[in-house]
Amino acid sequence: MGATSSFDDPGVAAAYAKWRARDLSWLLGYPFLFRALEPGSDGGARGPMLDVGCGHGEVAVEVARRFASPVVAVDASPAMLEVARREHAHPSVTYHQAEGRRLDFLDTASMAAAYSAFVLLMQPSRAAIQALADEVGRVLRPGARFAVLDIDHSRSTILARRPAAEGEQITVQVGDTEIHDYYWLPGTYTEILERAGFADVAVEWLTWEGIADPVLFSWRDRAPGPVTCSLVVLSGTRR
Ligand SMILES: C[S@@+](CC[C@H](N)C(=O)[O-])C[C@H]1O[C@@H](n2cnc3c(N)ncnc32)[C@H](O)[C@@H]1O
């Protein structure tokens, strides 16, 4: 199955790497992904970590630094990998071209953890998400964690129109270019991860609680409670 996407275009790859709106993800986004990957009370199984859809490599470098682990960073787009190799080379990060949704170059049960940021939402069908999740499940050791940072577009404030059904293509402005995502809901990701052999799959809707002063949000006419956003972190443990 091919995995062509907007990111195959070198212009889109360059625009994404420079997109300043992504800066916010380093505040409310990636830190929650990293937290979901922290070793458990057993000390965790440390070893090589897999980045599925590493893009321009910025996150892979931070994971290698933060967890002092080798990172196997995989992407379907040669254009994104070119930016990654040029701008985010790191001695503990190796960049690889994905063949469709397969990771044939990796042995079964060879990875200690895996993560994926803003990649599931790019898959055009349930079967494509399942194929990717199955392959991540194959290469992870039993007990290893898989964490996913994604967007729950049903809570999104940036869509002009909410899609009528899951799987519908949506267009997102990235700088002065556009990328295409698909409308999937966290419940669908959960089902797919469970079918791929992950247990205890949890969904965390990220909130500004603990980050922003709640008083600064109090002008809003809203029910009391944490101020949510559309970002979610899903995580599960390989059975
Ligand atoms: C929105 S970018 C996110 C990049 C990076 N994870 C980040 O957080 O900055 C999505 C990336 O996923 C890659 N991608 C999409 N489908 C993929 C697949 N099936 N296998 C590997 N990479 C994929 C795209 O080429 C693109 O680089």
Domains present along the chain, CATH in parentheses: 6-238 (3.40.50.150)
Entry pTM: 0.93
User: Which residues, judged by CB distance below 6 Å to any ligand atom, belong to the binding site of ligand 1?
Assistant: 3, 5, 7, 52-55, 59, 74-77, 80, 98, 101, 117-119, 122, 132
pLDDT at residue 1, rounded to an integer: 35
Residue 21 or residue 32, greater confidence: 32
**Mean pLDDT to the nearest integer, 206-228:** 72
- Token pair, residue 6, equals 């907007």
Q: Rounded to whole angstroms, how far apart are CA atoms 199 and 65?
A: 28
Instruction: Give the per-residue pLDDT at 212.
Output: 79
pLDDT at 30: 97
CA-179 nearest atom, ligand 1: 1
pLDDT of residue 72: 98
Q: Which atom of ligand 1 is nearest to the CA of 128?
A: 19
| Residue whose CA lies nearest to ligand 1 atom number 20 | 76
b (16+ CB within 10 A) / e for 85-96:
eeebebebbebb
CA end-to-end distance (rounded Å), the chain: 26
User: Mean pLDDT, to the nearest integer, of 143-156?
Assistant: 92
Whole-number pLDDT of residue 127 = 97
From ligand 1's centre to the CA of 52, what distance in Å? Answer: 7
Residue scoring higher pLDDT (211 or 36)? 36
